[in-house]
Chains A and B, each alone.
Chain A
Amino acid sequence: MTGIVGRMRAAFRGDQRVDADDLVARLDAVRRFLHAVDGQVPDSRLVTAHTLVERAGTRLALSRDHTVVALAGATGSGKSSLFNALAQLDLSPVGVRRPTTGVAHGCVWGPLDGATRLLDWVGVLPRHRFVRESALDADDETVLHGLVLLDLPDFDSVQRSHRLEVDRLLGLVDLVVWVVDPQKYADRVIHASYLREFQRHRDVTLVVLNQADRLSPAELPRVLDDLRRLLDADGLDGVPLLATTAVDQAGMTGLREALERAVAERQAALRRLSGDVDTVVAGLGELVDTDVPRNAPDEDTVGSLDRALAGAAGVPAVAGAVEGAYRHRAGATTGWPVVRGWRRLRPDPLRRLHLPGPAVEADQPAESLVAATSVPDPTTAQRSALGLAIRAVADRAGADLPAPWPDAVTTAARSRLDDLPDALDHAIAGTDLGMNRRPLWWRLVGGVQWLVTLAALAGLGWLLLGYGLRVLGLPAPEYPRVGEVPLPTLLLLGGLLAGLLVAAVTRPVIRWAARRARQRAEKHLTAAVAEVGDRYVRTPVRAVLDRYGQARDALRDAAR
């Protein structure tokens, strides 16, 4: 069913007009595509697209009133004879020595001026350009005004340079007339190397079986049928196929009419470029043939990336240090003042990591931010975990993308790997660990500790005073008593006991609060590290995915 529809469309395509603005928009889309994939896809795959953009730009800027038609074919098929017969002048050398024509010859119908720049661009030497002025002839030549007919060299002879010239010219002309003859119409080189390449240019392709006079009238239809079968196999179904003979003008009527139509429509250049765009788009399609992955990479992968980053950044170590430091500092503030001093001999775990200590002055935070930390280097295992996590992110993000993109995603994910350690260090150093404030309750407890210690001291002093007075034989003051116990004794013992008691009571509280502080710090640190991961790993990945999306959209626009 679709086959029939396709053939119908192909059959009608000849009459379909190509809108110039539309073509320009499509070319622009190709340009956007090239911009988006630049650096992500190997240049070797983009050569045709780059060539197209450049060539199309130039062709559209040159005369659109002219139609450049090339006669292409194998050596000895009679291209030059046909050329001369169409021009009705002996312009291109004809001969029996093979190969005959070595360079392209051009003939312009109508005034030369508009076509000069076109021929310069195509690369036909001035001495091989001819003008078919209508003044010489009857009016029948005016209908061909605007035709620039090129006689190309052969592409199958021992002269390799001819083939290169043909390949170059075939990329530039608007319409190609393939000239084959009864001897050579089934040659491999014509079909495999050339006709099959013009599948998407069916509306600017014409095939003529030249030297038809060498076949008997009975044989001609059979050969034409066979040739049509070969063309169908080349994917050129629906291409006009004509039999011509250069020896008399009657054998050329069909070709002339076809050329007149093409010249009158002024469409060949646009159709040719449109076909080029089709070819390029089809060739590039597989580069962007799947949808942009939605919300990639997924939560799990990001989670494992964050965990790996945290491990590599030493978050557990810092969090542990926070807990230690909390206990240390809380102990220093709320501990029993009698033994508080010797605690100071032990280092603060956070300070050991070179992380901001408790008493940073408010005007110096910047300095503490830039200073590198002494958080332990990641171990080999942590490094491996980080590598695995980044790889997993890249793999997930690029999983469904076509060929060169997964590599591009992986490269992007690793692009800032070298900056990662420093960034992580920075993030750790810049994270508020919540250790800069002394909680009120530390001070309260500290105050109580001081109070009870002072009470104990006062009691001690009082007792000592009484003891001293007694030693000196002076009358000792009467101690006020609370119940049976003298007040100074109560103060001394009660103070000491209360201090110990407060220390004992606050100890589990401190441990609990230290764990809280650790969790809080861990949360902040993980968030900071996750942000680093986002900035250094996921952002580059997203950038590549964005470019993929742009490229895909651009190519879809170009495919219209």
Chain B
Amino acid sequence: MTTNGDPATRSGAPTVAARTGSPDVAETPPGTTADGLPAALTGLRAAIGAARFPLALPSAEPARRTASALADQLDDYLLPRLARLDAPLLVVVGGSTGAGKSTLVNSLVQARVSAAGVLRPTTRSPVLVCNPADSTWFRQGELLPGLTRTTEPTEDPRTLHLVTAPALPAGLAFLDAPDIDSVVDANRALAGQLLAAADLWLFVTTAARYADAVPWELLRSARARGAAIAMVLDRVPPEAADEVAAHLSEMLAAQDLGAAPLFVLPETWVDGQGLLPDKVTAPLSAWFARLAADAEARAAVVRQTLDGALASLHPTVEALAEAADEQVAAADALDERVRAAYRGAQRTVEDGLVDGRLLRGEVLARWQEFVGTGEFFRTLEARVGRLRDRVVAAMTGRPATSAAELRNAIESQLVTLLRGVSSEAAEHAYTAWKAHPAGAALLEPGLAHPSDDLPERAERLVRDWQRGVLDLVRAEGGDRRFVARTAAYAVNATGLAVMIAVFASTAFIPTGLEVATGAGTTVAAQAVLQAIFGDQAVRTLANKARTDLLERVRALLDEEAARYLTRTDEARPGADAGAELRRAAGRVEVARHRSGLADGDGPGLPAPTGGRR
């Protein structure tokens, strides 16, 4: 076994094709190099584990899959492999269902280690074959830690059946993976996970299948990951061998996989033990024998795949980071839609108060009842005394019905307004989210309506506010004169007048329409108030009362909006998952360059002898 960066490895590795290296880091002294890498990878693993993609964006599902595949790859392969670079070379035999993977593995190790058969898919749980000398390493379970080791064949896909075969040279192990394209979905997922843990892919296809779309997708991903690949074209009718092999070579070259060794195995009958005749597997066995014998070549293969996998981390993680950023951006956009809807509601309430028109209708009628008839404003000054008597009588003598009615009128008008705007805002927010793919997934029917207890909460709000206004009137009585006058009218009546003023603050100067429609009493209210309090005090009181009311309304609407906003919180797990991912990937990239894995000068795969290229 060699350590990475050993000059002997570099000179001794067989050269098939040029590989990219980093000349500037090639000078880094070996031995001190790989230390940073496991730490950087662990950091990346944590960052990936922390990333969440809960919003149903187009990028979310691929990102979730990529994240889990990356995490698996780190756990199953990269971290254990980096910890022991001299561990046996793991050849994962993968391919379509019915391609003859199990038969091939059995024939290569000269023993029936994996069940072969005509029923598809045959292999459900992976089988690992190694030399008895290597079995301790695989049994330790550092590699593919998620799979339970067994020594008995099982059907459970979460187990790894370990078999030792003395015929297999030490330093080489075969893993018979389930298929990649059968109806059994678990097989496909498992095969992907196993292939990601391979030092060398032995990809098996057949004359009938070599143009299938599914395996090619997998091959493309392998190429992107820089994995070492060897192809086996199995079950080829002898008469078609040349044509099919040539076509497949063309296709491989077109996919930039021309460097992968290609072995063609003819369609034949298995012997009594279910093994292929020696003659058929000879080129492949010989090739593997050479690989097993040449420790340097093996190490080069491991380094190639490892480096390829590490190099592919950066773009993959970048994609993840982008998806994470998109999640945050989408969550922000969704939040903004909700906030806009509720801001609109708040504005409607503010407008409703500012333009004073809320005062009309019932409130106005009650106010009229309360202060007397609408006529009094013409002779206001003269009648203030009478008015005061009336008010005082109303407030102190008998429990005045008109005052209670006035307060109720204000309450019911405000409650209606609040209910209206919250229901409108809820609907706007709902529609806005519905138009957004991620938003639509978060919705549930109840959100289209305000919360069930909103009417009660709104009533409570208005009552609290009214109480607050009365307190305010009491508290504002710092001025002696003011106190005296307030006392004369009773706090209750003054409070009501202030409430009226809140609705009518712009109506200090009556609009033409108001005069025309007999709403001149709005003016009367102001006039009465000013007669009681003086201009400035009314303004102060009304402003405070209005601010208080708007504060309460904002709190109520915020609570309503929170029903939506809590749903997007999940999308922001950390402060900045995307940046965290990028930082971790950057550290891995730096560590990779330092480690010297990248400066091997050729892939370790020997050229096939007797097979064809």
Whether A385 contacts B416 in the complex (CB less than 8 A), given A215-B118, A380-B348, comes out as yes
Alpha-carbon distance A353/B235, docked complex (angstroms): 96
Chain B: CB-nearest residue to A99: B211
Q: Mark B214-229, 1 if CB is under 8 A from A, else 0.
A: 1010000000000000
Alpha-carbon distance A75/B207, docked complex (angstroms): 10
Alpha-carbon distance A186/B359, docked complex (angstroms): 75
User: Is B357 a contact of A379 with CB atoms below 8 Å?
Assistant: yes
A193 to chain B, nearest CB (A): 11
Asked if B612 lies at the interface with its beta carbon under 8 angstroms from chain A, I say: no
User: Is B360 a contact of A376 with CB atoms below 8 Å?
Assistant: yes
A232 to chain B, nearest CB (A): 12
**Residues of B with C-beta under 8 A to A382:** 361, 416
Partner of A185, one of B120, B181, B247: B120
Alpha-carbon distance A426/B532, docked complex (angstroms): 43
Asked if B421 lies at the interface with its beta carbon under 8 angstroms from chain A, I say: yes
Chain A: CB-nearest residue to B99: A183
Asked if B213 lies at the interface with its beta carbon under 8 angstroms from chain A, I say: yes
Asked if A182 lies at the interface with its beta carbon under 8 angstroms from chain B, I say: yes
User: Is A75 a contact of B208 with CB atoms below 8 Å?
Assistant: yes
**Residues of B with C-beta under 8 A to A387:** 420, 423-424
Chain A: CB-nearest residue to B251: A158
Chain B: CB-nearest residue to A155: B213
Q: Mark B192-211, 1 if CB is under 8 A from A, else 0.
A: 00000000000000111111
Q: Mark A385-424, 1 if CB is under 8 A from B, else 0.
A: 1011001000100000000000000000000000000000
Residues 229-258 of A at the B interface (beta carbon under 8 Å): 230, 233
Asked if A266 lies at the interface with its beta carbon under 8 angstroms from chain B, I say: no
User: Is A384 a contact of B416 with CB atoms below 8 Å?
Assistant: yes
User: Is A230 a contact of B420 with CB atoms below 8 Å?
Assistant: no
**Residues of A with C-beta under 8 A to B182:** 186-188
Asked if B155 lies at the interface with its beta carbon under 8 angstroms from chain A, I say: no
User: Is A219 a contact of B517 with CB atoms below 8 Å?
Assistant: no
Asked if A77 lies at the interface with its beta carbon under 8 angstroms from chain B, I say: yes
User: Is B420 a contact of A98 with CB atoms below 8 Å?
Assistant: no
**Residues of B with C-beta under 8 A to A384:** 416-417, 419-421, 424
Alpha-carbon distance A156/B417, docked complex (angstroms): 61
Alpha-carbon distance A160/B362, docked complex (angstroms): 71
**Residues of A with C-beta under 8 A to B120:** 182-187, 226
User: Is A158 a contact of B517 with CB atoms below 8 Å?
Assistant: no
Asked if B97 lies at the interface with its beta carbon under 8 angstroms from chain A, I say: yes
User: Is B98 a contact of A189 with CB atoms below 8 Å?
Assistant: no
**Residues of A with C-beta under 8 A to B251:** 158
Q: Mark A363-380, 1 if CB is under 8 A from B, else 0.
A: 000000000001011011
**Residues of A with C-beta under 8 A to B235:** 183
Q: Mark B173-191, 1 if CB is under 8 A from A, else 0.
A: 0000000011111001000
User: Is A381 a contact of B118 with CB atoms below 8 Å?
Assistant: no
B392 to chain A, nearest CB (A): 28
Partner of A230, one of B183, B243, B449: B183
Residues 304-349 of A at the B interface (beta carbon under 8 Å): 311, 316-317, 320, 349
Asked if A437 lies at the interface with its beta carbon under 8 angstroms from chain B, I say: no
A44 to chain B, nearest CB (A): 14
User: Is B211 a contact of A158 with CB atoms below 8 Å?
Assistant: yes
Asked if B169 lies at the interface with its beta carbon under 8 angstroms from chain A, I say: no
Asked if A352 lies at the interface with its beta carbon under 8 angstroms from chain B, I say: yes
User: Is A352 a contact of B243 with CB atoms below 8 Å?
Assistant: no
Chain B: CB-nearest residue to A219: B118
User: Is B420 a contact of A352 with CB atoms below 8 Å?
Assistant: no
**Residues of A with C-beta under 8 A to B240:** 96
**Residues of A with C-beta under 8 A to B365:** 316, 320
A165 to chain B, nearest CB (A): 15
**Residues of B with C-beta under 8 A to A233:** 183
Alpha-carbon distance A388/B98, docked complex (angstroms): 65
Asked if A446 lies at the interface with its beta carbon under 8 angstroms from chain B, I say: no
Chain A: CB-nearest residue to B349: A380
Whether A186 contacts B121 in the complex (CB less than 8 A), given A352-B518, A379-B358, A381-B416, comes out as yes
Residues 175-213 of A at the B interface (beta carbon under 8 Å): 181-189, 191-192
Report 27 cross-chain contacts, Cβ distance below 8 Å, ordered by A residue.
A75-B211, A76-B207, A96-B207, A96-B244, A98-B212, A157-B211, A158-B211, A158-B216, A160-B213, A181-B208, A182-B98, A184-B120, A349-B518, A352-B517, A353-B517, A376-B517, A379-B357, A379-B359, A379-B361, A380-B358, A380-B417, A381-B352, A381-B358, A381-B413, A385-B420, A387-B424, A391-B423
Alpha-carbon distance A188/B182, docked complex (angstroms): 5
Chain B: CB-nearest residue to A229: B119
**Residues of B with C-beta under 8 A to A515:** none
Whether A76 contacts B208 in the complex (CB less than 8 A), given A189-B181, A192-B183, A385-B420, comes out as yes
Asked if B237 lies at the interface with its beta carbon under 8 angstroms from chain A, I say: yes
User: Is B119 a contact of A222 with CB atoms below 8 Å?
Assistant: yes
Asked if B351 lies at the interface with its beta carbon under 8 angstroms from chain A, I say: yes
User: Is B517 a contact of A222 with CB atoms below 8 Å?
Assistant: no
**Residues of B with C-beta under 8 A to A77:** 208
Alpha-carbon distance A158/B361, docked complex (angstroms): 74
**Residues of B with C-beta under 8 A to A320:** 365
Q: Mark B280-306, 1 if CB is under 8 A from A, else 0.
A: 000000000000000000000000000
Asked if B575 lies at the interface with its beta carbon under 8 angstroms from chain A, I say: no
Asked if A460 lies at the interface with its beta carbon under 8 angstroms from chain B, I say: no
User: Is A381 a contact of B417 with CB atoms below 8 Å?
Assistant: yes
Whether A383 contacts B517 in the complex (CB less than 8 A), given A97-B244, A183-B206, A226-B120, comes out as no
User: Is A156 a contact of B183 with CB atoms below 8 Å?
Assistant: no
Whether A75 contacts B212 in the complex (CB less than 8 A), given A97-B243, A226-B119, A382-B361, comes out as yes
Asked if A490 lies at the interface with its beta carbon under 8 angstroms from chain B, I say: no
Apart from A159-B211, A219-B118, A380-B358, what 4 extra A-B contacts exist at CB < 8 Å? A96-B243, A158-B211, A186-B184, A316-B361
Alpha-carbon distance A504/B449, docked complex (angstroms): 57
Alpha-carbon distance A187/B185, docked complex (angstroms): 11
Alpha-carbon distance A158/B423, docked complex (angstroms): 53
